[in-house]
Amino acid sequence: MRAVITVVGKDKPGIIAAVSTMLAERSVNILDISQTIMQSFFTMITLVDLSAMDIDLEALRTELDQVAERVGVTITLQHEDVFTAMNRV
């Protein structure tokens, strides 16, 4: 399964490092990554492949929540199909 992970928050050093380190530890492969500032917020969008992940989805969400709290950002994970369904005819 592929998913889109979105990280939104106040810009500061180390956000990408914190998220990508955590993903690497869980064998989540980053396929694509982009970073912009939208409405003065740091926004990082990552397309990831979860097929080799060594924990289940629920646990991944929990760990992402922990990173979010530690770094002070909001992290959302949604299935790639959600974006395809809503944005592609």
Partner 1 sequence: MIFTPLEIEQTLKMFTEQNLDVRTITMGINLLDCADGDIDRALRRIYDKITRSASRLVDVGDRIQAELGVPIINKRVSITPIAMVAGASGGEELLRYAEMLERAAQDVGVDFLGGFSALVQHGLTPTDERVIRAIPAALADTEKVCASLNLATSRAGINMDAVQLAARAIKEAAERSADRSGFAASRMVVFANAPEDNPFMAGAFHGPSNPDTVVHVGVSGPGVVYSTVRRRPEASLDEIAEMIKKTAFRITRIGQLVVDMAAERLGVSRGIVDLSLAPTPKIGDSVARILEEMGLEAAGAPGSTAALALLNNAVKKGGLMASSRVGGLSGSFIPVSEDEGMAAAAERGSLTIEKLEAMTAICSVGLDMIAVPGSTSADTLAGVIADEMAIGVMNHKTTGVRIIPVPGGNAGEWVEFGGLLGRAPIMPLNTTSCTGFVNRGGQIPPPVTAFRN
Binding site for partner 1 (CB under 8 A): 1, 3-4, 6, 32-34, 36, 38, 43, 45, 47, 57-58, 61, 76-79, 81-83, 85-87
* Minimum separation from the CB atom of position 36 to partner 1 (A): 5
Are 31 and 64 in contact by the 8 Å Cβ rule? The answer is no
Which residue number, 25 or 32, has a Cβ lying nearer to partner 1?
Answer: 32
Q: What is the Cα–Cα distance from 71 to 2, expressed in whole angstroms?
A: 24
Nearer to partner 1, 7 or 71 (CB): 7
Q: What DSSP character marks residue 16?
A: H
